[in-house]
Structures are given as C-alpha cells and as structure tokens.
C-alpha cells in the first residue's frame, strides 16, 4: 500500500529509535463498541471492600455510592487496633445491619512476642457479640511476621489451631489473604509481566528467596489449614492467589466444601482467560463471589458490571493507577442464574444467613 493512502509520506517522518517503556501507550486500532451498564442486572453484595474513614469514606458516603452503583450490601475488611474497633462496628454494621458486615484483621505484635494466640481468641469472642462478621489473617502471616524463635510464622503452625477452631465453633468465617500474584515471587527482570507495577511498589515484591519463602510453600500451608479444619468456613481473597492457575483453583473448590473465594482485584487475571474463568464461575457460583477491593468509585463498579455481563472484547480493566500488567481483558457474559448467585446470594448467604 502506498504511503499516500495511509495519510501521508511516512518515509519523510523522523521516528525515534528509543522509547521508554513508561512512555509507551499504544492506542488500539480495534473497531469495537463499549457496553458499560449503569447498574448491574441484579443486586450485588461487594464481598471485599476497605472503607477507611481516615480517607473520608464514611458509612453515609459509601451508602450513597452503593445506591448509585446498584450495590445492596458489602463486607468491609478493617485493619484496626482492638481499642478502636467497637466504634467502627457501631458506625457501619451496627447502624446499617442489612447493608454492612465487618471483618477484622489486626496487628500481629503480641503473637510475635508471645507465640500465643490468646489475645485473638479474646477479641473474637468479645467482638462477635458486638456484631463482628469474620476474622482475617493477612499475607504478613507467612511473609513478614516472626515467631518468638525468630522464624517466620507459618499459616498452619499448630499454635494457631485454636483460632481456626474457635471460628468454626462460633460459625464465624475466617478470611485468608495468603501470598500474591505469581509475578511477585519471581525475579524482577525483563521477563516479569508485572515489572512496571512492582518497580512502582517495590514492597510488593517477594522474589528474594533469602528473605521470603516460595509462593508454593505458602499455598501448601493454606491448604493444610483448610483441610485440617473442615468445620470452619474459609474465605480466600483474590481467587485464593491462584488467578493465574484456574485448574488449581478448580481443584480446591472441588475438594473442600468449606472453601470459598472472591475475585477481588483479579479481573485483570480472569479477563485474559475468559472461557476458563466463565466456566469456573458458572460451576462454582455458590462458592465464588464478586468483590472489588479497588478505590470505591462509580466508574470502577460500572466497569465491573461490564466485565461480568457483556461480551466486550479487548478493553482496559478496572485497576489501581499503576495497573496490574500490560494487557487487556475480555468480558465473561455470565448467565442470569449465575449472576444472581455470584453477585449476591453466595456472599449474602455466607455472611448474613449463616
């Protein structure tokens, strides 16, 4: 084709032979139509949000956003000191019991110092009476926190069994955020698909094997906990850190009836394998639920509905500003019966009806 047909004499244009990766922002030439629902097709429970009053996200402010976005209820995971937590419960689930459930995770200071989980047991019992919906261990347990012997705490350390057992006896869900995407545990070099994200957030990289255990070891410990405590319901955040490995996530869901998960902050992973993701969610819609875990904004939620409900192809997924990989996603076009469970019933039954 002649250069004139393309709009000009391109052989006369000077082209830079060096372009920094951070400046590379290609515009797709794909001719397609975006379908962005204003509201979801069915009411939604957002099973994974962080409502931080320090940043101005009060209960009333988020309620207004929920009504705009079509969200019936949410589960907010609060990182707080025990002394501050009763007030948080009162302002959210206490004042609006049908709209909010609150999950707590807290510092591991006393566990690191004493090696005993007694303070966690006391907190769970007391806060359960005040409306606490669940307790959470974050990824610092396994990656950072150290026991009195100076070694890293492991999720399946027998000294933690009383906490998991108590959650089962109280019929209180136990939420786990174990590990992170695979790219966070491999060398940070030109082969790492999340290189840009990790150089912006170097504290998210755990690829130094002299400091951190391999991801495989962390996930094996997580599975041993789930297997060892069949009467405790475990909810794993972020596709249970297996967003890149849906066959493994399928195996876990098929093996352990006490195991649940959400898709929070993993549209980026699911959307680049849409057929497998769709199949998994349809099959396990009673134990896989919607969650966002992104800055609570109306536009973010509408992109989530686009992902779940439309057949749009090759578009920019909702993410935090640094993105989560240099690729685009495809929507899932989930059936109505699946959406009703995935959007609402699974999390509602798990937190409100159990």
* SS3 call for 266: coil
Q: Are 176 and 235 in contact (CB under 8 A)?
A: yes
pLDDT in tens, 233-275: 999 999 999 999 999 999 999 999 999 999 999 999 999 999 9
pLDDT of residue 320: 81
Residues 261/293, Cβ–Cβ less than 8 Å: no
Q: What is the mean pLDDT of the chain?
A: 93
d(CA 189, CA 63): 43
The answer on pLDDT for 15 being more than 80 is: no
In which band, very low, low, confident or very high, does the pLDDT at 79 lie, cut at 50, 70 and 90?
confident
Question: 118-129 vs 161-169: helix axis angle to the nearest 10?
Answer: 20
Give the pLDDT band (50/70/90) at residue 54: low
Lowest mean pLDDT of 76-85, 171-180, 216-225, 276-285, name the range: 76-85
Identify the helix (H) or strand (E) that includes residue 45: strand 44-49
| Residue 210 pLDDT grade (very low, low, confident, very high; cuts 50, 70, 90) | very high
Q: Which two structure tokens, joined as six digits, stand for 233?
A: 């319901």
Question: Nearest to residue 103, comparing CAs of 137, 67, 63?
Answer: 137
Summarize the confidence of residues 214-222 as an average pLDDT: 98
What's the token pair of residue 11? 């052989």
pLDDT digits (tens, 9 = 90+) for 118-128: 999 999 999 99
Q: Which DSSP category does 157 fall into?
A: -
pLDDT at 9 over 90: no
**Cα(288)–Cα(286) distance, rounded to whole angstroms?**
6
Cα separation, 78 vs 51, whole angstroms:
7
Per-residue pLDDT at 21 exceeds 90: no
Domains by residue range for the chain, with CATH: 32-353 (3.20.20.140)
Assigned token pair, 319: 């993410």
The average pLDDT across 106-119 equals 91
- Tokens matching residue 312: 């749009």
What whole-number distance in Å separates Cα of residue 160 and Cα of residue 154?
Answer: 9
Does the pLDDT at position 77 exceed 50? yes
Please give the share of the chain, as a percent, with pLDDT higher than 90. Answer: 83
For the ranges 94-98, 243-247, 297-301, 318-322, the lowest mean pLDDT is seen at 318-322
Tell me phi and psi for residue 55, to 5 degrees. -95, 15
Band (pLDDT 50/70/90 cuts) for residue 308 is: very high
> Would you tell me how many other CB atoms lie within 10 Å of the CB of residue 186?
17
**120 half-sphere exposure, CB direction, 13 A CA radius:** 27
| Residues above pLDDT 70, as percent of the chain | 95
Q: Which residues pair with 79 in a beta bridge?
A: 105
- The number of helix segments (H) and strand segments (E) in the chain equals 14, 8
Q: Is the pLDDT of residue 3 over 50?
A: no
Length in residues, the chain: 354
pLDDT tens for 128-161 read: 999 999 999 999 999 999 999 999 999 999 999 9
Q: Tell me whether residue 171 is exposed, middle or buried, using C-beta atoms within 10 angstroms of its C-beta: 0 to 12, 13 to 18, 19 or more.
A: exposed
Q: CB atoms < 10 A from the CB of 83, how many?
A: 7
């Amino acid at each position: 084709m002649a250069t004139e047909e393309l709009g000009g004499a391109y052989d006369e244009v000077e082209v830079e032979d060096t372009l920094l990766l951070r400046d590379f922002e290609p515009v797709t030439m794909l001719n397609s139509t975006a379908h962005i629902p204003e509201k979801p097709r069915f009411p939604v429970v957002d099973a994974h949000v962080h409502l931080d009053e320090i940043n101005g996200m009060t209960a009333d402010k988020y309620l207004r956003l929920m009504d705009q976005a079509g969200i019936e209820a949410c589960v907010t995971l609060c990182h707080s000191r025990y002394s501050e937590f009763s007030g948080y419960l009162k302002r959210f689930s206490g004042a609006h019991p049908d709209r909010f459930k609150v999950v707590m995770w807290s510092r591991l200071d006393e566990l690191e110092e004493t090696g005993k989980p007694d303070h966690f047991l006391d907190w769970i019992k007391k806060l359960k009476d005040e409306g606490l919906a669940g307790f959470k261990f974050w990824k610092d347990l396994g990656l950072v926190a150290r026991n009195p012997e100076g070694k890293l705490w492991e999720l399946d350390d027998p000294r933690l069994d009383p906490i998991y057992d108590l959650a089962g006896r109280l019929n209180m869900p136990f939420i786990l955020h174990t590990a992170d995407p695979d790219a966070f545990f491999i060398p940070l070099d030109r082969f790492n698909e999340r290189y840009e994200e990790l150089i912006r957030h170097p504290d998210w990289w755990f690829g130094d094997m002299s400091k951190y255990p391999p991801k495989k070891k962390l996930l094996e410990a997580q599975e041993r906990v789930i297997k060892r405590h069949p009467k405790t319901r475990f909810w794993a955040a972020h596709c249970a850190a297996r967003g890149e490995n849906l066959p493994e996530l399928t195996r876990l869901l098929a093996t352990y009836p006490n195991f649940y998960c959400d898709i929070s902050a993993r549209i980026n992973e699911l959307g680049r394998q849409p057929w497998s993701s769709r199949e998994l969610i349809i099959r396990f819609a009673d134990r896989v639920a919607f969650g966002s875990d992104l800055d609570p904004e109306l536009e973010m939620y509408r992109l989530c509905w686009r992902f779940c409900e439309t057949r749009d192809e090759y578009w920019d997924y909702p993410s935090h500003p640094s993105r989560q990989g240099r690729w685009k996603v495809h929507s899932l076009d989930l059936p109505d019966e699946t959406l009703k469970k995935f959007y609402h019933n699974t999390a509602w039954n798990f937190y409100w009806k159990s």
